[in-house]
């Protein structure tokens, strides 16, 4: 919500400071024009997703630098016994070591970015995404402490499954299909069915101790996504006006 306020403030400053601004600058270079056209054609959700994917790509590349290994393990893998357990709950959300893990998560993020960007707006979507990442990591921590496990976790899966859960609870009758398989074996299922299947799968994974995924993080992310769209959005985002009013008072009037 602070980001949204600062955007509005910046627009106000431009309006007051620039009565007449220079327009219609000619931009040279085919690549730049093509890139600008692609960016302008993106939805607000896709633009946010592009930024998140860029950060994930940088972190993915950083794992390949041997000199950064100790930093990556400490700050970009989440474990309750790591040297930076609080900060790594957030930073691990942008961290992938496996190319398949990275590609799958970024594909799903991009796939749902437009619909959730239109529902939440990019400011709320970013706040939702970051909160989901931290909460899913915290859920994973709780389970690891109970199981006395120090096994680290990385990946955006918790945040992305929260995004999936938010989509499924908002549009339960929407038709989904598994990426790429639908081109070979035609199939579809409702978003509500997908949500229930993921909840059941990760519950069994937690119960039987499967180690293929961080099932606790997945469950935490999915449940947060469902809770936020049913209750949290109204409780938090719809009541942001007092916070923005206080922030405006602290910031003062925009300078001309």
Spatial separation of the C-alpha atoms in residues 226 and 138, rounded to whole Å: 17
List 77, 140, 157, 215, catalytic entry:
157
CA atoms within 13 A on the CB side of 249: 6
Answer yes or no: are the C-beta atoms of 4 and 247 closer than 8 Å: no
- DSSP structure class, residue 82: S
The two tokens of residue 104 are: 């799958």
- DSSP structure class, residue 177: -
CA atoms within 13 A on the CB side of 150: 5
Q: Which helix (H) or strand (E) holds 176?
A: strand 175-176
List 193, 218, 248, 255, catalytic entry:
218
Active site residue 218: yes
The two tokens of residue 184 are: 């070979």
Spatial separation of the C-alpha atoms in residues 149 and 142, rounded to whole Å: 10
R_g of the chain computed on alpha carbons: 21
Q: Find tokens 């070591």 and name the residue.
A: 97
Residues annotated as catalytic are 157, 218
């Amino acid at each position: 919500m602070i980001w949204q306020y600062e955007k509005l403030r910046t627009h106000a400053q431009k309006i007051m400071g620039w009565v007449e601004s220079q327009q219609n600058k000619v931009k040279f270079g085919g690549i730049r024009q093509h890139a600008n056209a692609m960016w302008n054609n993106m939805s607000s959700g896709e633009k946010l997703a592009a930024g998140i994917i860029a950060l994930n790509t940088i972190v993915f590349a950083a794992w390949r630098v041997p000199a950064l290994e100790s930093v990556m393990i400490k700050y970009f893998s989440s474990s309750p016994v790591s040297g930076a357990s609080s900060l790594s709950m957030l930073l691990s959300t942008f961290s992938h070591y496996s190319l398949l893990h990275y590609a799958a998560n970024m594909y799903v993020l991009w796939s749902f970015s437009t619909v959730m960007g239109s529902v939440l707006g990019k400011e709320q979507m970013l706040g939702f995404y970051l909160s989901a990442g931290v909460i899913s990591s915290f859920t994973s921590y709780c389970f690891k402490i109970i199981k006395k496990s120090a096994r680290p976790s990385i990946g955006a899966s918790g945040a992305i499954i929260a995004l999936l859960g938010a989509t499924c609870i908002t549009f339960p009758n929407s038709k989904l299909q598994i990426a790429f398989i639908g081109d070979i074996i035609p199939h579809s299922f409702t978003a509500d069915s997908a949500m229930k299947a993921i909840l059941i799968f990760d519950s069994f994974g937690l119960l039987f101790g499967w180690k293929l995924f961080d099932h606790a993080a997945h469950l935490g992310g999915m449940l947060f996504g469902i809770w936020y769209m049913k209750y949290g959005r109204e409780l938090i985002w719809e009541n942001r006006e007092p916070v923005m009013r206080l922030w405006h008072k602290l910031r003062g009037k925009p300078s001309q």
